[in-house]
Amino acid sequence: MNRDTKLEQLFHRMGELAKEDLCIAFSGGVDSSLILKAAAAEAKNRGTKVYAVMISTRLMPAADLEIAREVSKECGSEFHILHLDESGCREILENCRERCYHCKKYMFQRLKDWAGERGIRHVAEGTNADDLKVYRPGIRAVRELEIQSPLAELYITKKEVRDFAKSLGLSVAKRPSAPCMATRIPYGTPLDFEVLKRLEKGEEICRQMGYETVRLRLHDKILRVEIEKEQMGKFLEEADKIAEKLRQLKFQYITLDIEGFRSGSMDE
């Protein structure tokens, strides 16, 4: 199937969902932005509304909020924030291997309730075809709650998502993925929100120094830095400066992972 046909299929699918008011679980990332763009365009032709709802939690990187607000405005949808505090969910805090399932179940149930209170029957989210090939226990929760996943349904890959987003002029077409901060801690280590905030701050420092794609993974006292391999030479030249800044955040041992950035490396 060629590229244009897949994009037409996506608009058609979002048009089916947008025959009535639609709620989209919106993060401001490229996946949910693409389905929001298509849904908003189709809803405009039908006189219905699309609600871009960002679920704001303590595990969400703070920078995501303003990005999501701007992209929603680009797409012409209504933007809403659903504030949740997952610290009350024991299964999430314990950080077992099924954490993502419990987290998605917790969040999407409340999003469905939010939509139901407004008479909205369908909720959609941005799982893509590549997500189905790796460890994503949260997908089970999405299916159990009957949330729509049009990208996965149409076998649209991450590369195709970025290509489509670029062709549609979305500002986040090249934006790196920004998973929840719990992915920086090994399974079995209870979540500590103060530690996660320090990791978030450390990643922001690295981005300000030019390392746009970066993950800080904490293994007890060892901080493992993941960046793109082509930036490792630059990183080593600045190692003293970077180490000093990260030590100010109370990280003791700082290492550079020579395998480079790998999405989901904690699942290896």
> Which pTM was predicted?
0.90
Confidence at 1, pLDDT banded by 50, 70, 90: low
pLDDT digits (tens, 9 = 90+) for 184-234: 999 999 999 999 999 999 999 999 999 999 999 999 999 999 999 999 999
Q: What is the rounded average pLDDT of the residues 11-28?
A: 96
Identify whether residues 94 and 160 lie together within a single domain.
yes
Q: How far out from the chain centre does Cα 237 lie?
A: 31
> Which of 167, 202, 226 is the endpoint of a domain?
167
Identify whether residues 115 and 218 lie together within a single domain.
no
Identify whether residues 25 and 67 lie together within a single domain.
yes
Listed in order, strand segments (DSSP E) in 87-229 are 122-124, 214-219, 222-227
Percentage above 70 pLDDT, the chain:
99
Whether residue 172 is contained in a domain is answered as no
Please report, for residues 98, 114, 190, the alpha-carbon distance to residue 187 in angstroms, rounded to integers and kept in the order given: 9, 30, 8
Identify whether residues 109 and 220 lie together within a single domain.
no
Overall domain count for the chain: 2
CATH number, position 163:
3.40.50.620
pLDDT digits (tens, 9 = 90+) for 105-118: 999 999 999 999 99
Whether residue 94 is contained in a domain is answered as yes
Whether residue 177 is contained in a domain is answered as no
pLDDT digits (tens, 9 = 90+) for 77-110: 999 999 999 888 899 999 999 999 999 999 999 9
Whether residue 243 is contained in a domain is answered as yes
Whether residue 119 is contained in a domain is answered as yes
> Which of 151, 167, 183 is the endpoint of a domain?
167
Whether residue 173 is contained in a domain is answered as no
The total of other beta-carbon atoms located within 10 Å of residue 250's CB is: 9
Whether residue 179 is contained in a domain is answered as no
Q: Which domain holds residue 242?
A: 192-267
Identify whether residues 217 and 112 lie together within a single domain.
no
- For residue 245, give both structure tokens: 């800044």
Identify whether residues 85 and 218 lie together within a single domain.
no
Q: Where do the H-state alpha helices sit in 128-238? A: 138-144, 150-153, 158-167, 193-208, 232-237
